[in-house]
Chain A
């Protein structure tokens, strides 16, 4: 079964890489460019996994994650934080907000795919 993955990423190139990587791996992708769009997409599509960038315009990834987690219907969806914040404490902050895993940018697409497959076997 190929799951549906919501990619929340404001940067076009990075969306493209994920699209190419995950599409190639057989996942179905839904994209959002900020936290609000992400919330809308989650409500509409109900993805099986979310790759959440943290620094986003309008609403950042922390806030979006918290809101998803606040919704009983959605809170079981795994969320992997994908961020270029590499300061100590960022990972803890992401996990505290409700993320299930944390991947720093720049990531190796290969490694990211492996991480996705942990939650969503292709």
Chain B
């Protein structure tokens, strides 16, 4: 940024200075040049005027000699006039007079003897231009020529206006032109020169050039002057080369009567020397200006960038949260204003943060208090819900209540039905002496509490000293307590106690304390009710447990007592059938078999009743050992084979080879399968019963399929319920307790398996169960 500003500033100043300098130089160059040209032209004009004047004067003087015609006056008189003219006009060195025929009649000269040719020997100039041109144009200016290789001369002839006036021819010394030319001073090396209408050099400070008869008609300025004199359009040439090849500033003026041109020229380098000096000065000034601009740029950029940097750093720190810092910029301009605004903003932010922090702190305190109250309530609730011991709950409540209410002591009274009075059940912050003193006064205290709780509203005393004397008050005042708040513990059917807090400092209790204590009171009331319920439940459950024990014992006993005679019945029957006591007549044998069958059925009933009562009491436990499912199936097969045969039913077994050894309650699984197969045989009159065993996903599936009557879908759920059969009339026909499937289902579930039925009326039934191959723990109770 710093560099950017420096470069920018420098560039602006550079452009301004350079543009200004360039314009200045250009215009001053133009102006200077035109003023030089003007001066030169003026000089040239002055000189040209001087020369013109000189020629005109000579013309006028010579004009006098052409006034008279040759017929008037004598030659002598003319000679006298001529001599006088020579005396008056030093520039005329010789005057000859021609008559109207062009013959020279008189010649007066400063350099030679006067000549008056005798008649007939006059030189004829009638064909000479000095005669013909003068007669034609009245004036004739001859070419410049030199005498003695040093002085320029010119022939000037003038014709008279009258008839027979003749022509006067004067040889004019042009040294004056030289003087004029050499007098013109143009700068140091400037000079003036004159060229004639043909472009030949007539006068020049360097005589040698003139004497060499130099032709300047090729110079651009001369050509331009000639062209303008002819009236042709031509640019004014201001800069050109002079005869010696130097570049010059040039200006000219025409010498009026002669068609000559007066040139004034100044070498360029000299002409522009002051300009170059100015240029050089300007350049130096420019450099100085730029240097100054650079310094100023550096200074300004520094002055601008440094505070901006400070501003940026400050703003960044403010942004980062350092609100305590202030930006210090003393530039006295908008930047300082901006910094002040930043500072102001930071200050306000700091203030609002502080304000916010205060608010947060206040809220936090409030929250902390609320949290404290909530936590206390939570603890109380937990105590109420988890602790059956009423003493503990009430102690917790009174402690929390007294602490949160900011009191030194607290107590809870609970109505005791047996004693018919309110008794002190929990205290906080009360000395043994005080408690003893209060218990001594239990009757009057109970009465007071009873009176106060009857109102069902909190009751407070700001100062016990203001109260009428009462035994409790006296004790409390003696112990140093002054303020008291009592909140009744209300159950649906009336007050069950009171929560009391006592404070040494007299004064009203604030409303939120009263509200809080009411909440505690509600919890206390709940706890008291809970405790009563608990104790009732406890008594009931104890009674229940005793009853349950009696029942279990009764069942065990009954089971035993039933089995003992049954053992005799079945035992004797078998012994008789086995002919221990001698041959049995066939008729008796049949009867005995019926006895045996019924006895066994009775045994089954006893076993089922015992099992179901064990299941209900949660006493049925599996005896988990290693077993073989194949063995179970074979045992069941062996047990029911004769039964199936007796009913003419095919009994099939499907067992895959290589079944793995299993772990579970073999006896119970056998019981389940026996039940299923027994049922199948029992309910199937024709066809077959098949036991199909398979293994998948670590479980055995044993399915018992029969071709019996099937079970309607609506009855399929019912048959697993205790004492249920699909049709109650079946019990009468087929026997059974209706407990078998319920027990079987339970046993399978205890193995972590499942027992289900698939059946359709008229299409037989399939009862199947799955059990994990390895049952390590019993599921459920």
Contacts and interface: CB of A to CB of B under 8 A. Distances in A.
Chain A bound to chain B: yes
A95 to B, nearest CB: 12
Contact of B571 (A14, A86, A87): A14
A86 B607 contact: yes
Contact of A20 (B564, B581, B623): B581
Secondary structure type dominating chain B contacts? helix
A92 B625 CA distance: 12
Contact of A84 (B560, B569, B578, B599): B560
Contact of B567 (A14, A24, A87): A14
8 contacts: A11-B564, A14-B571, A20-B581, A84-B560, A87-B614, A88-B622, A92-B623, A107-B567
Interface in A71-111: 84-89, 92, 105-110
Interface in B518-576: 556, 559-560, 563-572, 574-575
Interface string A36-71: 000000000000000000010000000000000000
A86 B610 contact: yes
Given A20-B580, A84-B559, A106-B563, A13 B570 contact: no
Contacts of A108: 570, 574
A14 B574 CA distance: 13
Contacts of B563: 84, 86, 105-106
A11 to B, nearest CB: 6
Interface residues of A, number: 21
B689 to A, nearest CB: 24
B570 A106 contact: yes
A105 B570 CA distance: 10
A21 interface: yes
A111 to B, nearest CB: 9
B621 interface: yes
Interface of B: 556, 559-560, 563-572, 574-575, 578, 580-581, 599, 603, 607, 610, 614, 619-623
Interface of A: 11, 13-14, 17, 20-21, 24, 55, 84-89, 92, 105-110
A21 to B, nearest CB: 6
B567 A84 contact: yes
A105 B561 CA distance: 11
Given A20-B580, A84-B567, A86-B559, 13 more contacts: A14-B564, A20-B575, A21-B575, A84-B560, A85-B556, A87-B556, A87-B614, A87-B619, A88-B620, A88-B622, A106-B566, A106-B569, A106-B603
Nearest to B572: A17
Contacts of A21: 571, 575, 580
Contacts of B571: 13-14, 17, 21, 106-107, 109
Contacts of A88: 620-623
Nearest to A108: B574
Contacts of B556: 85, 87
A84 B614 CA distance: 16
A107 B578 CA distance: 14
A105 B572 CA distance: 13
A13 B559 contact: no
B747 to A, nearest CB: 12
B568 A17 contact: yes
> B566, B569, B571, B621 — which one has the most chain A CB atoms within 10 A of its CB?
B571
